Amino acid sequence: MAAGATSSRLHPPFDRVESWIFDLDNCLYPASTGLFALIDERMSAYIARLLGVEAAEAKRIQKQHFHAHGTTLAGLMKEHDVDPHHFLEDVHDIALDRVGPNARLAAGLGRLPGRKFVFTNGDAPYARRVLERIGIGDQFEHLHDIHACDHRPKPQSHGYELLCARFAIDPAAACMVEDMAQNLRPAKALGMTTVWVDNGSERGNHDSDPGHIDLRITDVADWLDELLEDQ
């Protein structure tokens, strides 16, 4: 099926979707791998070096920035003038042996009709490494990272609007898949169909209002198998 086409075999509301937008971390790989914990540790270590504080204080500052600004990076840029490229290169310098190929996910994405995008608060070099490790690097038309969002992270609406504008995505014909429920609120406000990957990765940011969530799942590969079972 040609890119951008829809399939009448998909059940509503997914039968109208032409563009599929996926988060990366704890979404396209299981949160149980603990991969993001390695990044989390490096963020705390970065802050400890930057500010000359002990590990416990660095962790407190890190989480304060995360909750107040959406990402640790956003807070560090605003309050400490941190270079985003330097920060992201440092914290993403991790081994990826906890993540392996997922042939079932690759097959599901390959059968999914329409255009596919990755939208991440991380940076493109790290995201490409992870996607290649999973075996799905060739599945996506574009990788929309934090630099492409002018360093304004999800859930700020700026990055969502830029993605749609740059790639002529009609939000009414788009679906966003994300493990952070709060990051689906701007997508829903734009008119997207929303899928929450509820896998325990909320890290204290659970969004209790389900009004902006169309579907709740626990695993993307499982969901694609179910969505495409009649294809």
Q: Are residues 71 and 181 in the same domain?
A: no
Q: What is the pLDDT of residues 159-168, one digit of tens each?
A: 999 999 999 9
The predicted pLDDT at position 7 comes to: 46
Q: Are residues 25 and 58 in the same domain?
A: no
Q: Are residues 45 and 142 in the same domain?
A: no
The predicted pLDDT at position 67 comes to: 86
Cα 66 from Cα 63, distance rounded (Å): 5
Q: Are residues 172 and 208 in the same domain?
A: yes
Q: Are residues 25 and 139 in the same domain?
A: yes
Q: Are residues 62 and 174 in the same domain?
A: no
Cα 202 from Cα 198, distance rounded (Å): 8
- The domain boundary residue, chosen from 91, 115, 136: 91
pLDDT-based confidence at residue 205 (cuts at 50, 70, 90):
very low
The predicted pLDDT at position 172 comes to: 98
175 assigned to some structural domain = yes
Cross-strand pairs, 32: none
40 assigned to some structural domain = yes
Q: Are residues 65 and 155 in the same domain?
A: no
195 class by beta-carbon count within 10 Å (0-12 exposed, 13-18 middle, 19+ buried): buried
AA identity, residue 62: Q
Q: What is the pLDDT of residues 95-152, one digit of tens each?
A: 999 999 999 999 999 999 999 999 999 999 999 999 999 999 999 999 999 999 999 9
Q: Are residues 45 and 143 in the same domain?
A: no
Query: Which CATH number is 67's domain given?
Result: 1.10.150
The predicted pLDDT at position 2 comes to: 36
Q: Are residues 119 and 176 in the same domain?
A: yes
Helices (H) and strands (E) in the chain, counts: 9, 6
H helix intervals, the chain: 35-51, 55-69, 72-80, 84-91, 103-111, 124-134, 157-166, 185-190, 220-227
For residue 181, the SS3 value is helix
Q: Are residues 151 and 117 in the same domain?
A: yes
pLDDT at 17 over 90: yes
Query: Which CATH number is 146's domain given?
Result: 3.40.50.1000
Cα 120 from Cα 23, distance rounded (Å): 5
Tokens standing for residue 18: 């032409």
5 assigned to some structural domain = no
116 assigned to some structural domain = yes
For residue 215, the surrounding DSSP H or E stretch is: strand 215-217
pLDDT-based confidence at residue 4 (cuts at 50, 70, 90):
very low
The predicted pLDDT at position 69 comes to: 86
- Residue 190's φ and ψ, nearest 5 degrees, are -80, -15
Cα 209 from Cα 68, distance rounded (Å): 19
pLDDT at 190 over 90: yes
Average pLDDT, the chain: 91
Count the domains in the chain: 2
Q: What is the pLDDT of residues 23-41, one digit of tens each?
A: 999 999 999 999 989 999 9
For residue 215, the enclosing domain spans: 14-30+101-227
Instruction: Name the packing angle between helices 84-91 and 35-51 (round to 10°).
Output: 130
Q: Are residues 25 and 137 in the same domain?
A: yes
188 assigned to some structural domain = yes
18 assigned to some structural domain = yes
Q: What is the pLDDT of residues 46-87, one digit of tens each?
A: 999 999 999 999 999 999 998 888 789 999 999 999 999 999
4 assigned to some structural domain = no
6 assigned to some structural domain = no
